[in-house]
């Protein structure tokens, strides 16, 4: 049998004269992320100017979901316009209903019954929890974690069951309306709500163990997309985006509306790593901080709901007359704390039953404006992390 001989070649070395080496030249490239990219949370198009994996510019292009929502408000009576507010931020329909209803009530001088105010707060805070659950679950998906999405939507379904029992809808509710709420709560509603809160509050600790303190998740989100407190204020950010930067600003505390001044609750803000059990890599104002503020807000919403259930009085659920009301020749601007930030409605009347002017100030529209500022210099893979941490809803951005 012939012997097999394997010949090996000596290592090859190429000596190159340094003076003959040219500078490494790279070419910039424009990358369209969207308008249907799964990591952009809606019909958003972001044009990225990249140099390899490095992002030099990230410009959001909006308007793909524009539906003339404000102009429609100038052609309908206020109670008819309530369903359109649901479609702006379709993850926070109750809060949108509430903002427009309060604006009309202040303009027309409508007195809302005490019981209706408590019902509004209960449903608005439930919707805040439901919205943050979507933010929690989908952000996990953006970062490659599928299980948190299943957990969050399991709990969200229970909230939607409560909404369905009260108004028959699970996404666009039109439940909070001018003068109060559309219907009285079902007889067993508060009992079922008590059971849900007892079940849900311990789940938040599970969420933290599952995702918030997950080593890989922290690596993807900590010290990424950092927004300083000064930048957050300068760019008009609100909601978890500004509170994640360490600014304790929440309209429910700062300028209370409805009956929020009757409740004891905290305003979570971003903290540096190593404090209060927060991972060491975390920097105030980064993606992780904005995410974690929403997790903490779910706990505070539970506190508000429990207090509201304990204090709720008997009485009417709506004012006597809310249809065909005449809007005085005056104007009003009202802002409330939507799950994404400050949602405002400007309404001007001219003596008729239909507003002469309706304008909405959407929190997502302002929050997304800082994307190019914080996206410069990050990696291409960080862009979905940054967009997900801002938690935008394109129906409200475009209107």
| 0.75 exceeded by pTM | yes
Residue 305, classed as helix, strand or coil, is: helix
**Which pLDDT does position 4 carry in this prediction?**
47
| Pairing of the two strands 45-51 and 54-61 | antiparallel
- Sheet with 54-61, side-by-side order of all strands: 29-33, 45-51, 54-61
| Long-range contacts, stretch 26-31, CB < 8 angstroms, 24+ apart | 26/51, 26/52, 28/56, 31/380
**Which pLDDT does position 22 carry in this prediction?**
57
Distances (CA, A) of 233 to 236, 237, 333: 5, 6, 20
Q: H or E stretch including 151?
A: helix 147-167
pLDDT tens-digit profile of 272-310?
A: 887 888 888 888 889 999 999 999 999 999 999 999 999
Residue 251 — φ and ψ, nearest 5°? -60, -25
CATH of domain 65-361+382-398: 1.10.645.10
**Which pLDDT does position 21 carry in this prediction?**
55
Q: What is the mean pLDDT of the chain?
A: 88
Please report, for the chain, the start and end positions of each structural domain, with discontinuous segments joined by +: 65-361+382-398
pLDDT tens-digit profile of 28-41?
A: 888 888 777 666 67
**Which pLDDT does position 33 carry in this prediction?**
84
CA 267 to CA 248: how far, in whole Å? 6
């Amino acid at each position: 049998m012939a012997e097999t001989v394997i010949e090996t070649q000596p290592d090859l070395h190429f000596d190159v004269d340094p003076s003959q080496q040219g500078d490494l030249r790279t070419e910039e490239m424009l990358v369209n992320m969207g308008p249907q990219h799964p990591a952009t949370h809606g019909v958003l198009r972001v044009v990225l100017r990249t140099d390899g994996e490095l992002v030099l510019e990230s410009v959001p292009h909006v308007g793909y979901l524009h539906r003339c929502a404000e102009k429609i408000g100038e052609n309908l009576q206020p109670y008819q316009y309530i369903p359109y507010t649901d479609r702006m931020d379709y993850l926070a329909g109750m809060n949108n209903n509430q903002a427009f209803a309060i604006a009309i009530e202040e303009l027309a001088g409508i007195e809302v019954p005490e019981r209706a105010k408590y019902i509004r707060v209960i449903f608005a805070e439930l919707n805040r929890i439901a919205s943050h659950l979507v933010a929690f679950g989908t952000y996990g998906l953006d970062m490659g974690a599928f299980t948190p999405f299943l957990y969050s939507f399991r709990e969200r379904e229970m909230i939607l069951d409560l909404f369905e029992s009260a108004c028959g809808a699970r996404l666009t509710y039109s439940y909070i309306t001018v003068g109060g709420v559309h219907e009285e709560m079902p007889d067993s509603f508060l009992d079922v709500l008590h059971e849900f809160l007892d079940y849900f509050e311990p789940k938040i600790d599970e969420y933290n163990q599952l995702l918030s303190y997950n080593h890989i998740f922290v690596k993807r989100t900590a010290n990424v997309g950092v927004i300083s407190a000064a930048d957050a204020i300068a760019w008009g950010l609100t909601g978890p985006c500004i509170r994640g930067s360490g600014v304790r600003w929440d309209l429910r505390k700062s300028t209370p509306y409805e009956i929020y001044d009757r409740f004891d609750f905290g305003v979570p803000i971003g903290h540096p790593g190593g404090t209060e059990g927060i991972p060491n890599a975390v920097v105030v104002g980064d993606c992780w901080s904005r995410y974690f503020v929403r997790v903490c807000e779910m706990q505070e919403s539970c506190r508000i709901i429990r207090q509201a259930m304990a204090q709720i009085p008997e009485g009417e659920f709506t004012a006597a007359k809310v249809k065909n009301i005449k809007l005085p020749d005056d104007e009003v601007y009202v802002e409330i704390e939507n799950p994404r930030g400050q949602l405002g409605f400007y309404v001007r009347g001219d003596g008729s039953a239909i507003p002469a002017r309706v304008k909405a100030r959407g929190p997502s529209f302002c929050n997304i404006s800082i994307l190019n500022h914080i996206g410069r210099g990050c990696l291409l893979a960080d862009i979905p992390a940054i967009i997900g941490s801002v938690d935008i809803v394109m129906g409200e951005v475009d209107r």
